[in-house]
Chain A
Amino acid sequence: MDRTVLLISTLLALVGAVWGAVSVHRGSRTWWTLVFIAGAFVAQLFFLEWRGQMRGACPLRDQGEILVFLAWSLTLFYLVVGRPYRLSLVGLFTAPVVVLFQAAALWPGVMSLDPERSVGVDAWREAHAAVSVLAYGAFALAAVTGVMFLVLDRQLKEHHLQSGLFRNLPPVRELLAAVMRLLWIGYALLTFGIVAGWMMSHRGGWSHLIAAVAVWVLYGILLMWQRMWGLTGRRLSLVALVLFLVSLGVFGVV
Chain B
Amino acid sequence: MELICVGLNHRTAPVEVRELFAVAPSKLGEAATELRDKIGVEEAVVISTCNRTEIYVSGDAGAVRQLEELLGGAEHCYHRTRMDAAVHLCRVASGLDSMVLGETEIFGQVKDAYQAALQAGVTRGVLNRLFQKVFSIGKKVRTETGIQEGATSIGNVAVDLAEKIFGHLKDSEVMILGAGEMSRVTAQSLQSRGARSIFVANRSYDRALDLAQQMNGHAVRFDDWQLVLAQVDVVIGSTGAPHTIVHKAEVEAVRRKRKFRPLFFIDIAVPRDIDPAVAEIEEVYLYDIDTLEQIASEARVRRAKQIEVCEAMIREELDKAKLPGL
Contact = CB atoms under 8 A, between A and B. Distances in A.
A203 interface: no
B164 interface: yes
A114 B287 CA distance: 60
B285 A232 contact: no
B260 A157 contact: no
A3 interface: no
Contact of B287 (A159, A171, A233): A159
B203 interface: no
B165 A173 contact: yes
B261 A230 contact: yes
Between A157, A171, A173, A230, the greatest number of chain B beta carbons within 10 A of the residue's beta carbon is seen for A173
Contact of A156 (B167, B259, B285): B285
A107 interface: no
B316 interface: no
Interface residues of B, number: 22
Contact of B163 (A27, A166, A171): A171
Interface in A224-244: 229-235
Nearest to A177: B167
Interface in B130-169: 146, 149, 161, 163-167
A230 B285 contact: no
B291 A232 contact: no
Contacts of A127: none
A126 interface: no
B163 A157 contact: no
A25 B163 CA distance: 21
Contact of B164 (A156, A176, A233): A156
Nearest to B292: A159
A173 B262 contact: yes
B258 interface: yes
A230 B165 contact: no
Interface string A103-142: 0000000000000000000000000000000000000000
A161 B259 CA distance: 27
A26 to B, nearest CB: 11
A90 to B, nearest CB: 15
B289 interface: no
A156 B265 CA distance: 12
Contacts of A229: 256, 259
A161 B296 CA distance: 11
Interface in B245-267: 256, 258-262
B316 to A, nearest CB: 21
B164 A172 contact: yes
A48 B131 CA distance: 58
Contact of A230 (B161, B167, B260): B260
A230 B298 contact: no
B283 interface: yes
Between B146, B164, B165, B261, the greatest number of chain A beta carbons within 10 A of the residue's beta carbon is seen for B164
A173 B285 contact: no
Contact of B282 (A166, A174, A234): A234
Contact of A171 (B165, B260, B295): B165
A232 B165 contact: no
A231 B163 CA distance: 21
Interface residues of A, number: 21
B167 A170 contact: yes
Contacts of B291: 159
B39 interface: no
B101 interface: no
Interface in A165-183: 166, 170-174, 176
Given A170-B167, A171-B163, A171-B165, A157 B259 contact: no
B279 interface: yes
B262 A172 contact: yes
Contact of B262 (A27, A159, A166, A233): A233
B265 to A, nearest CB: 12
Contacts of B146: 27
Nearest to B146: A27
Nearest to B281: A232
Nearest to A175: B167
A233 B282 CA distance: 8
B276 to A, nearest CB: 12
B231 to A, nearest CB: 14
Contacts of B298: 162
A152 B164 CA distance: 9
A235 B282 contact: yes
Nearest to A167: B149
A171 B160 CA distance: 11
Contact of A161 (B256, B260, B261, B295): B295
A27 B299 CA distance: 14
A161 B163 CA distance: 13
Nearest to A86: B167
A172 B261 CA distance: 10
B260 A232 contact: yes
Interface string B156-195: 0000010111110000000000000000000000000000
Contacts of B165: 156, 171-173
17 contacts: A27-B146, A156-B164, A156-B165, A156-B285, A157-B285, A159-B287, A159-B295, A162-B298, A173-B165, A173-B167, A229-B259, A230-B259, A230-B260, A231-B260, A232-B283, A233-B260, A233-B283
Minimum-distance CB pairs A-B, first 3: A230-B259, A171-B167, A232-B282
